[in-house]
Amino acid sequence: MMFQAILIPVFVQVALTFGLLFWMGALRGGDVRRGAVKLDKVGLREPGWPTRTTQVAYAFSNQFEVPVLFYVLVAFLMIMRHADVIFVALAWLFVAARIVHAAIHVTSNVVTRRGQAYAVSVLILFVMWVIFAVEILTGT
C-alpha cells in the first residue's frame, strides 16, 4: 500500500485549487478597488468581471468538476487498500494534465488545446476508475 505516494498528487491538485482561489481573490479584490466592477452587478454570478478575472475564476471552478471524481477514487483506493504503483503513476498523469489544463485556461485560453488537456485528464481518470472497478469486482 502506497498511502503517502498516492496522496502527494492529491496534495498537488489541492494546491492548484487553492492557488487559483487565492489568485482569483486577489484579482477580484483589485477589480473592486479599481472600480472595474460594481458588486451589486455581480452578486448573483452575473457576468461583469473583467476577462482576466473571469479566466482565473473559471479555471478555479473547473477544479470542482472532474477532480471530484479523482478525490473520491483516491479515497476508495485507500479504504480498499488498492493504491499501488499503477494508480500512483496514473494519479500523477491526471494531475499533470489538470495543471496543463489550468495553465492554458489562465494564459492563452486556446479552447482546442484546453479541450485536449481536459480530454487527456478525463481519459486518465476513466482508465483509473475502470481498473479499480475491475480489480474490486473480480477480487484481484
pTM: 0.94
Give 110-130 pLDDT, tens digit per residue. Answer: 999 999 999 999 999 999 999
The DSSP string of 8-42 is HHHHHHHHHHHHHHHHHHHHHHHHHHHTSS-GGGT
* All structural domains of the chain with their residue ranges: 3-138
- Do 80 and 136 contact (CB within 8 A), yes or no? yes
CATH code reported for the domain at 3-138:
1.20.120.550
pLDDT tens digits, 75-91: 999 999 999 999 999 99
pLDDT band for position 1 (cuts 50, 70, 90) = low
Identify whether the C-beta of residue 105 lies closer than 8 Å to the C-beta of residue 63: no
